[in-house]
Structure 1
Amino acid sequence: MLRILGLDLGDKTIGLAVSDPTGLFSQPVKTLPRTWTKKDIDAIKKIIEEYCIEKIVIGLPKNMNGSLGPQSEKSMEFADVLKKETGLNVDLWDERLTTVAAERALLEADMSRKRRREVIDSIAASIILQSYLDSRK
């Protein structure tokens, strides 16, 4: 089976999660500060190498009515760049409410506000990726 990298793109950070080798489970990896430069791509390439990633899933932020807005455009552009830079297939996946779900999970875990800010995007990436993995079953 192939390992998949999940990304939650924000304006300030990029959350990363990876699937297990069986493609059944997602786990958060880290949150990168977003630089809006080639550094972002280089940091993601390191994760791709480290985890032997064969495919990428990027959260596509749709509006609640399903329409695409400015954030969606940013995600689609980033997906195109990542596809060119890595040669890997990149899928876009509806990410509506994933950050809300991540926040709720962290609150239920009674995590401090500071710690929640540090991990929320990687948890959201993990939720995006898990949703994608579950859809393939």
Structure 2
Amino acid sequence: MTPFGERVRQLRRERGLMLKDMAAHLGVSSAYLSALERGERGKPTWTLIQGVLQYFNIIWDEADELARLADLSDPRVKIDTSNTNHRATLFANRLAREIGNLSEDDVEDMLAILDNAQERERRAVTPVQAPQDAAYDSSPGP
């Protein structure tokens, strides 16, 4: 199951909606929508995402979150390691081979590492306000 598929299924079930009714509204087959929910289909199109948002009457932050989940829901990921070191390439290849053997705890630990790396990058990009120059400090000195 993909993050997008899991969230769509959760929304549909919370609202007591039938898969076949949602599929008809979106103009797709029940089989396709079921496969999308289970993660057996690739990343949904922009048009389908917009249809899902409209179907559930989702706006603002929740709409942004669902679109973000759709972007992270390609079950056939391709990783370009051409601009990284050899260890990153090794890691990507090992992950591709071993991901099915990882426990839920292993996956959660790796996600936490990636979240920390993303936060570090976000902090590095955020401009830090420089302290005021002491030469221009008008407060009384010692």
TM range (shorter): under 0.3
Higher helix proportion: 2
The alignment's TM-score, normalised by the length of structure 2, stands at 0.25
The alignment's TM-score, normalised by the length of structure 1, stands at 0.26
Give the greater-gyration-radius structure (CA): 2
